[in-house]
Amino acid sequence: MTVLPISKIEAPARGRRTQDSRARLLVAARKLFVERGYHATRPQDISREAGLGHGTFYLHFADKQACFLAFTEDARSELDSYLQRRLKDAPDVESAVRGSLEAIHEYSAAHPGVLVTAMADAAVIAADDAHPVTLVDRWAMQWAALLRLPVGQGGQAMDPDEAGIIGAAVVGIIHEGSAYAGRHGKAPGPTIDLLTRLIIKALT
């Protein structure tokens, strides 16, 4: 049996305090960005929520926008692992689509408001200056990649030129469809079924 040296277990010391602070700031940032939105959240609020001094915020993020982008990136990669888990065994596109929707629903249930906040405010942030690759773009491209899988048994690959637009359209279906369902209190199960059907039909 291997015994880890104490330093590995208990004495993070060097550079660990830093990591810890950053993590706490990101947790706090997520909470506040989701609750209040980007513009109504002040760096100072994030620091206080994290139990740290105001200055510490700027030790970890160049500015408020960088913090928001880090939050956004975190959300994206978390969602990605939810998706990964569901997609790795999907036998066909339909299962992949359904799996994706289920993953997204699962993630949204576990982290309410995060996706909506990340997408909505990202648009506003992006408008400020040239942040060329938006969150939606990345997701659209992932869908495009997924859709190069043949659809149906004798299916053919997508025209690569159209794939991006189709990917974006799928993102749109999911985003607006889920948001609408959420706003109007529709049950998630039937909504997932419905959106899956819509996407599959659109792709056939």
Partner DNA sequence: GATGAATGAGCGTTCATTCAT
Partner DNA sequence: CATGAATGAACGCTCATTCAT
Does residue 125 bind DNA (CB under 7 A)? no
- Which option in its own copies, DNA, none does residue 188 bind, with CB closer than 5 to 8 A by kind? none
CA atoms within 13 A on the CB side of 45: 14
Q: What is the DSSP letter of 158?
A: P
Q: Which stretch binds its own copies (CB under 8 A): 46-54, 81-89, 96-104, 169-177?
A: 169-177
Structure tokens of 20? 């810890």
Nearest distance in Å: CB 137, DNA: 24
Total residues binding DNA (CB under 7 A): 26
Cβ neighbours, 10 Å, residue 108: 18
- x-or-dash pattern for DNA, window 54-83, by CB under 7 A? xxxxxxx--xxx------------------
Locate all alpha helices (DSSP H) within the chain, ordered by sequence: 6-9, 16-36, 43-49, 54-60, 64-87, 93-110, 114-128, 135-147, 160-183, 188-203
CB of 133 to its own copies, least distance (A): 10
Contacts with DNA, 146-175, as mask; x by CB under 7 A = ------------------------------
Q: Answer yes or no: are the C-beta atoms of 79 and 107 closer than 8 Å.
A: yes
Span of 51-59, 88-96, 159-167, 169-177 interacting with DNA by CB under 7 A: 51-59
Residue 192 tokens read as 């997932």
Residue 96 and residue 87 in contact, taking contact as beta carbons nearer than 8 Å: yes
- Closer to DNA by CB, 20 or 193: give it: 20
The separation between CA 38 and the C-alpha centre of its own chain, rounded to angstroms, equals: 16
Decide if residue 173 touches its own copies (CB under 8 A). Answer: yes
81/91 Cα distance (integer angstroms)? 18
Give the count of beta carbons closer than 10 Å to the beta carbon of residue 59: 12
Instruction: State the binding partner of 172 from DNA, its own copies, none, CB within 5 to 8 A by kind.
Output: its own copies
Residues within the interface to DNA (CB under 7 A): 13, 15, 17-18, 20-21, 39-44, 47, 51-60, 63-65
Residues within the interface to its own copies (CB under 8 A): 37-40, 120-121, 123-124, 127-128, 134, 136-137, 140, 161-162, 164-169, 171-177, 179-181, 183-184, 186, 190-191, 194-195, 198-199, 201-204
